[in-house]
Amino acid sequence: MDKLIDLLSQNARFTNAQLAAMLGRSEQTIKEQIKKLEDDGIIKGYSAILNENLADKNTIIAYIELKVTPERDSGFDDIARTIMMYDEVEAVSLVSSGTYDLSVTVKGKDFKDIALFVAQRLSTIAGVLSTSTHFVLKTYKEKGIFIEDEEIDERDYVAP
């Protein structure tokens, strides 16, 4: 099962026939295994990996570091759940950095758009102690894929 997940993570658009060939299983088996991964909630969805620069010049991404006070019963979960409800928020993770607790990825139209979102929406949430915003200027690699450049095969036609 693991290798199937690995291949789908590389490229979710491999056909069942291709996956079947690559793993030496039948197409029917692949179909069932993918369905099971989806039913079990292991595969949560499929999305395209974009070169945001080319896809939409009016998009900007920022990583926001949030320092928060954990709540008595729910720890960080309630705050994280509040944050993730915003459409502007692409990703939320709890991290073990020591300097901050929640890492939030936000997508916006421009710097000001994001700055306002942080100031008006995130910093005002009860329990949020501080925020630190990092704008993404350029993405080089995402999900194992080179974004700006094609991977170049440097191997030459060497033969005896």
Partner 1 sequence: MIDYDKLLSGKVKEIKPSGIRKFFDLAASMKGVISLGVGEPDFQTPWAVRKAAINTLEKKRIIYTANAGLASLREEIASYTKDKIGVEYDPKSEVIVTVGGSEAIDISVRALIDPGDEVLIAEPCFVCYAPIVEIMHGVPVPVKTYKEDNFKLKAEAVKEKITDKTKLLILPYPNNPTGAIMTREDLEPIAELLRGTDILILTDEIYSELTYGRKHFSITALEGMKERTIYVNGFSKAFAMTGWRLGYLCAPAPIVKQALKIHQYGIMSSPTVSQYAAIEALTKCDKEVRKMVDEYNVRRRLVVDGFNKMGLECFDPEGAFYVFPSIKSTGMTSEEFCEKLLSEKSVAVVPGNAFGESGEGFVRVSYAYSLKHIIEALRRIEEFVNEHRG
**Which residues here bind partner 1, judged by CB under 8 A?**
3, 7, 10-11, 14, 18, 21-24, 151, 153, 155-160
**In the complex with partner 1, which residue's Cβ is closer, 149 or 153?**
153
- Give bridge partners of residue 103 from the DSSP assignment: 65, 93
**In the complex with partner 1, which residue's Cβ is closer, 20 or 115?**
20
Residue with tokens 């954990």, as numbered in its chain: 70
Residue 17 CA neighbour count, 13 Å, CB half: 0
- Give bridge partners of residue 57 from the DSSP assignment: none
Q: How far is the CB of 54 from partner 1 (least distance, A)?
A: 19
Q: How far is the CB of 155 from partner 1 (least distance, A)?
A: 5
**In the complex with partner 1, which residue's Cβ is closer, 140 or 157?**
157
Give the containing element (helix H, strand E) for 129: strand 128-135
Q: How far is the CB of 160 from partner 1 (least distance, A)?
A: 5
d(Cα 8, Cα 22) in Å, to the nearest integer?
12
**In the complex with partner 1, which residue's Cβ is closer, 21 or 136?**
21
Q: How far is the CB of 46 from partner 1 (least distance, A)?
A: 17
d(Cα 101, Cα 82) in Å, to the nearest integer?
15
